[in-house]
Amino acid sequence: MKEILLLKDGEIVLKGLNRRQFEDVLKRNVKIALKGAGKFEITSAQSTVYVKPLDDDADLDEACDRVSRVFGLASFSRAAVCPEKTLESVCETAPEYLAKQLKAAKTFKVEAKRSDKKFPYKSPEICREAGGAILGKFPHLSVDVHNPDVTVFVEIRDFGAYIHTEAERGAGGIPVGTGGKALVLISGGIDSPVAAYMMAKRGIKLTAVHFASPPYTSPRAEEKVVRLLEKVSRYSGPVKMYTVPFTKLQEKLRDDCPEELFTVIMRRLMIQISERIAADNDCAALITGESLGQVASQTIGALRCTDEAANMLVFRPLIGMDKQEIIDISYKIDTYETSIEPYEDCCTVFTPKHPRTKPVLKYVKQAQEQAGFEELINEALQNLKTTYISY
Ligand code: ATP
Ligand code: MG
């Protein structure tokens, strides 16, 4: 029996005039997500993206798993394609395709949707006929329209008639790429991959930057960040990552700045360097995994000092979240186990015993200016490494 995936648009339906553009991006993202799951034809009509397998190698289980992470979809169903767009064909296909579920159920109902108004039967007639055919094959069943064990959906659309059960919930959000581009500061921790995921969900195409301080941080720490971004890319699509050689800057910071301001100045340097990379990559904003009050560098005072270094919008999608709420999302997107692997991040190198929780901006800027980082920043920017990451 021929099957197809029907993907229903989510929020993009709200976008009125831009609708076409949104659907084109959504289709492209579905195509990218399905790379490696076989050959599919992807088309769209009537707020639905159709994913049709083109040969026997096309893996529909894998395809379902992959589309479940594509942003911009409210729901999706795996459906049987009726051999013909006729009521008889519907009545034959429905009991056959859903035999397993119907056998195991006690009650069922049929719901028909007829978006092709030229189809000669109205929805109530389709329900009645299909329901009758199902009862004929499975006489143990009874109809329950309020709380059935199985709902059989019949969709009569322009290009065919389809049968499926309850749709699965899609990833929601907005198609990646329709919300512009931003640069995410990614560490090996729990928070920044979650922040990246959350902004991708709002349609942002991601580029990433990671600060590495070898030999204080190991190559394995960087490799861990790549693996985290691989997980994120299952939602966001491919990500280009820049690795910034941060060692000399951190050493200078240790040698030439007051110890208790180490962290806040380091964060300012990260922002300033990131901003330059963002500008070169058409990114209109930065993204961090900061959450208010989580550590000394994330008090209002410290964030104010970090933020002042930025001339660009900085998204902090986790700002109001508890650690446990962030962890829950990291489980969901499957980054948690990787994040807790114990490799040193540059943030944990040379950390002061008593960082200022209320740094005074004036003194922070003074200390940073006195040390003078401009030359080393330029040097770091000339020695960026790029890695292309996809799932
Ligand atoms: P995370 O779990 O994301 O590491 P965190 O709770 O450890 O966050 P910090 O170490 O203060 O918090 O870092 C705050 C944010 O700064 C991170 O979420 C990330 O966006 C950015 N950041 C920290 N370290 C790095 C790094 N080595 N490279 C790039 N960005 C970093
Ligand atoms: Mg960290």
Q: Is the pLDDT of residue 28 over 60?
A: yes
Report the nearest atom of ligand 1 relative to the CA of 295.
11
Q: Name the residue with the closest Cα to ligand 1, atom 31.
A: 187
Q: Is the pLDDT of residue 188 over 70?
A: yes
Mean pLDDT, residues 251-261 taken together: 94
List pLDDT tens digits, range 215-241. Answer: 999 999 999 999 999 999 999 999 999
Q: Is the pLDDT of residue 173 over 70?
A: yes
pLDDT band with cut points at 50, 70 and 90 for residue 21: confident
Distance of CA 341 from the midpoint of ligand 1 (Å): 15
Mean pLDDT, residues 24-38 taken together: 94
List pLDDT tens digits, range 70-80. Answer: 999 999 999 99
Spatial separation of the C-alpha atoms in residues 206 and 208, rounded to whole Å: 6
Distance of CA 297 from the midpoint of ligand 1 (Å): 10
List pLDDT tens digits, range 103-153. Answer: 999 999 999 999 999 999 999 999 999 999 999 999 999 999 999 999 999
Tokens of 66: 């992959």
Q: What residues flank ion ligand 2 with Cβ within 5 A?
A: 187, 189, 345
Mean pLDDT, residues 15-35 taken together: 87
pLDDT, residue 348, reads 76
Q: Is the pLDDT of residue 13 over 70?
A: no
Distances (CA, A) of 277 to 82, 247, 283, 317: 52, 18, 8, 21
Distance of CA 347 from the midpoint of ligand 1 (Å): 7
pLDDT, residue 15, reads 60
Distance of CA 261 from the midpoint of ligand 2 (Å): 17
Please report which ligand is nearest the Cα atom of 345: 1
Lining ligand 1 with CB less than 6 A are 185-187, 189-192, 209-211, 270, 288-290, 294-295, 297, 345-347
pLDDT, residue 5, reads 98
This prediction has a pTM of: 0.94
pLDDT band with cut points at 50, 70 and 90 for residue 347: confident
Please report which ligand is nearest the Cα atom of 286: 1
List pLDDT tens digits, range 277-332. Answer: 999 999 999 999 999 987 778 899 999 999 999 999 999 999 999 999 999 999 99
